Structure 1
Amino acid sequence: MTKKTQQREYFFDSIRAYLMLLGVPFHVSLIYSTQSWSVNSPVPSEWLTLLNDFIHAFRMQVFFVISGYFSYMLFLRYSRQHWVKVRLERIGIPMLAAIPLLTLPQFFLIKAWTTKIGNWSSLSLYDKFNALTWDLISHLWFLLVLIVLTLAGVWMFKWLRESKTAKTEYSDLNWTRLSIAILLCSLAWGTVRRLLFIVAPQLLGNGLFNYGVMQSLFYLPFFILGAMAWKYPAIKGLFVKPVPWTFIGSALAFVAYVANQTYNRGDGWLYEIDAVVSMMMGLWMVNVAFSLGHRLLNSHSPRVTYLVNASLFIYLVHHPLTILYGIFFVPEISNNTLGFLTGLVFVFGIAFILYEFHLRVPLLRFLFSGKPQR
């Protein structure tokens, strides 16, 4: 077992909590966006579409950098077997608990009250299974990706730990080189997707393949980058030092993201261009989020500690609450901005009430955290 002590970096906790909680405004704004979702408002809102696009364009890339950072830290602290056990428990148990408790009821809600699934009785057995896969995994997809990356991390982190590269090796790394590396990763992902689109397009419509393979490959570079930021201080230093052109690059990448979403189509190069733009914006937003977080949020706060502890539970329960709000309340509120703000109050309010309730039930605390309860 290798032990490594380091002063707690509170800004990582803050960023991680806020990224998770951004899932609520993301999905509530999705109702009012031009994107087709399980539920949509009668008339979309331009500014809420932009808000939704902005959150979607960078949030999970930054999240997986932080996840890789802490995953590698724990890998150094525990034996490999214990690390795998702890990580799979913390990720797998909440996911497995959320399927029967949250996403299965959500599936029946969507099936009964929306037209998303269509005529269930006319679907083939495969189509029914695939529809179930998409909706049962649903917003839990990032937990499935974390499971895949954890299993891959057994090999990747072992290689990284045993690498003879000196800690000062990356002292000359700059944002230009890092951007080129991520650009190449995005082009590789786009090439894989385009080849699949040509030779096996049915795979791209398979929910399990999309979540378990394509999403895992997309976020793999960010997960590895986070682990390298723990091992090599020069990379972490690069992340927390504000660089003006990454701020400008993020803004330009967002403009390109919106243009691609607006003017491209799914049977064209929409997804490949989206991968390039999203990966680049995600990388540059790492600098934006980390540098601002390091400057403004790097102190202990009981409020942030509470949000860190609550963030996973809030994320897990917010999705069915958002769909409930979209089905029963959105049609009654004609003003989109008012509806969006009311939706935030509705979803956050009930989610935090449920969080407080679950804290008082040891079995629920275990199921939604994966941690043994004293």
Structure 2
Amino acid sequence: MKRFHSLDAMRAILMLMGVYFHLAHAYSIFPNTWSRNPEAVSAVFSYFIEFSHYFRMHAFFLISGFFGALLYERKGAREMIRNRFKRIFLPLIIFLWPIYILNILGGEFAKYQNQGLGIIQSFDNSLGIFYSIEGLIPWRTDHLWFLMYLFFMSIIAFLAKRIFNNINFLNGRLNKTIRLLFSRPWLGTFLFCFTYGVLVSILHIDQAQTGDAWLYWVWFLIPSGIKTFIAFSFFYFIGWHIYYHRSVLEKLNIKKQLTMVIVFFPLASILVYNLVKFSDSPYPQMNVVFQGANSELDSRYNVTFKVDLS
């Protein structure tokens, strides 16, 4: 099969965007757990975070689903699971502790730097994390959470593939629906967005990464962690089925895709604007920003007149 260099490039861009995404948190105007210098924050970084947060990981899981199906069809079911264990689960186990320690150490160092301490003193104080054994145990997966989710998605895909292969009617319906994304892109895109919207409504969440349970090893025991997994799995399994329509990818019309963006973006912007205006946006941070702007525009001033009657 011909290699899709564009998908490889997209996956690399999304991973690099993730690096910039996390760096931007240190300069965001929105409150977060990152140590930051209040004098160096910028709204540009904040809006980049908000903009990219709602498609970056979704696209990553979609592409991962595509390559997961490719691996399944090329190597077989058992080899796919073995490959996922070696390429996903083992790196998670091996690199989790070093990344966890560097993350904690860097956070402590930045905190002391912001307090005005020197480099040596800040580093010396940061070493205090090693005084507690409990503090050195990575109870969470932190930045490697997506590897754990990806491994579980691979296992479920392996099981689902065997089940759906025996249900020809359901499998055929699903393939026809996925094909609409390419054969009838306007209708397909609408159904894709509508289905995901219904899914998050049923899950009663406003974004895929809801809460922080997705960071923990036992996310599958926590409702919010399960919801996050289901939301991202939607994109993984869409990507999985796109693989079986890979021949259509080369026929995508860039002009038609741009036309759809030009049409849908203003409509979506108007909708989001009205949701934010009435403080009913699914993005809480945007509600806060707009409320702040409104309060500044609609602020009332108390004027006191002093009248000398002498």
- TM range, smaller chain: 0.5 to 0.7
CA–CA distance in structure 2, aligned partners of residues 219 and 242 of structure 1? 23
Cα displacement (A) at 1:114:
3.4
Closer, same or farther: CA 68–274 of 1 in aligned 2, 3 Å = farther
- 1:232 counterpart (245, 259, 262): 245
* Aligned pairs for 1:193-204 within 5 A: none
Q: 1:314-342: CA deviations, max 9, x gaps?
A: xxxxxxxxxxxxxxxxxxxxxxxxxxxxx
Is 1:45 the counterpart of 2:42 in the alignment? yes
Letter in 2 for 1:207: Y
Letter in 1 for 2:156: A
- 1:143 counterpart (131, 144, 147): 147
Cα displacement (A) at 1:112:
6.2
CA–CA distance in structure 1, aligned partners of residues 80 and 153 of structure 2? 13
Closer, same or farther: CA 102–235 of 1 in aligned 2, 3 Å = same
Q: 1:177-203: CA deviations, max 9, x gaps?
A: 22221211221222699xxx9xxx9x9
Which secondary structure does the structure 2 equivalent of 1:232 belong to?
Answer: helix
Cα displacement (A) at 1:32:
0.7
Asked if the contact 1:69/1:228 (under 8 Å) is kept, the reply is yes
Larger radius of gyration: 2
Is 1:184 the counterpart of 2:184 in the alignment? no
Q: CA RMSD in A?
A: 4.1
State the TM-score, normalizing by the size of structure 1. 0.54
CA–CA distance in structure 1, aligned partners of residues 243 and 144 of structure 2? 26
Q: 1:110-132: CA deviations, max 9, x gaps?
A: 356539xxxxx9xxxxxx78x94
Mean Cα deviation higher: 35-44 or 23-32: 35-44
Q: 2:231 — aligned with what? A: 218
* Aligned pairs for 1:157-172 within 5 A: 157-162=161-166, 164=168, 165=172, 170-171=179-180
CA–CA distance in structure 1, aligned partners of residues 203 and 144 of structure 2? 22
Letter in 2 for 1:140: L
CA–CA distance in structure 2, aligned partners of residues 52 and 206 of structure 1? 19
Asked if the contact 2:206/2:283 (under 8 Å) is kept, the reply is no
Q: 2:117 — aligned with what? A: none
CA–CA distance in structure 2, aligned partners of residues 93 and 207 of structure 1? 17
Closer, same or farther: CA 141–159 of 1 in aligned 2, 3 Å = same
Q: 1:244 — aligned with what? A: 259
Q: 1:133 — aligned with what? A: 139
Cα displacement (A) at 1:9:
1.1
Cα displacement (A) at 1:138:
1.2
Asked if the contact 1:33/1:49 (under 8 Å) is kept, the reply is yes
Which secondary structure does the structure 1 equivalent of 2:69 belong to?
Answer: helix
Is 1:82 the counterpart of 2:97 in the alignment? no
Closer, same or farther: CA 40–191 of 1 in aligned 2, 3 Å = closer
Q: 2:302 — aligned with what? A: none
Cα displacement (A) at 1:219:
0.4
Cα displacement (A) at 1:91:
0.5
Q: 1:297 — aligned with what? A: none
Task: Using the aligned pairs only, state the percent identity.
Answer: 19
Closer, same or farther: CA 28–205 of 1 in aligned 2, 3 Å = closer
Which secondary structure does the structure 2 equivalent of 1:38 belong to?
Answer: coil
Q: 1:337 — aligned with what? A: none
Closer, same or farther: CA 66–206 of 1 in aligned 2, 3 Å = closer
CA–CA distance in structure 1, aligned partners of residues 161 and 70 of structure 2? 10
Q: 1:348 — aligned with what? A: none
Tell me the matched-pair count.
246
Closer, same or farther: CA 56–168 of 1 in aligned 2, 3 Å = closer
Which secondary structure does the structure 1 equivalent of 2:52 belong to?
Answer: helix
Q: 2:107 — aligned with what? A: 110
CA–CA distance in structure 2, aligned partners of residues 162 and 246 of structure 1? 38
Cα displacement (A) at 1:234:
8.4
